[in-house]
Amino acid sequence: MTETVTRPSSCPQCGHKFNRAAGAFSDHVPQEGDISLCIRCGCAMIFRADLTVRAATEAELDALPAEVKDQMVRLYQAICAVRSKMN
């Protein structure tokens, strides 16, 4: 897993601040338009050109290929499982 330093950004849902991203299933480096999940709350976010993030729209989520949606569900479940162990 390759970690990429990004510009400081905050989750649009929970406000979690971060400045790194890592591919969960590959060593992909984030680019404009890529989707990511907040490690704290699981919010779906889209990278901007400057590698800050914004909330993904429903239309963007609906347009994702089935394989990506499946990966997102697995990641979201993993985030929730870790979060429940921390509480």
Residues sharing a CB contact under 8 Å with residue 36, sequence separation 6 or more, in sequence order: 21, 30, 44, 45, 46, 47, 53
pLDDT in tens, the chain (87 residues): 678 889 999 999 999 999 998 877 778 889 999 999 999 999 999 999 999 999 999 999 999 999 999 999 999 999 999 988 886
What token pair was written down for 58?
A: 């429903």
3-state secondary structure 10-77: ECCCCCCEEEEEECCCCCCCCCCCCEEECCCCCCEEEECCCCCEEECCHHHHHCCCHHHHHHHHHHHH
pLDDT value of position 28? 82
CB contact at 8 A, 2 and 18: no
pLDDT value of position 68? 92
pLDDT value of position 55? 97
Q: How far is CA 60 from CA 14, 56, 76, in A?
A: 20, 6, 17
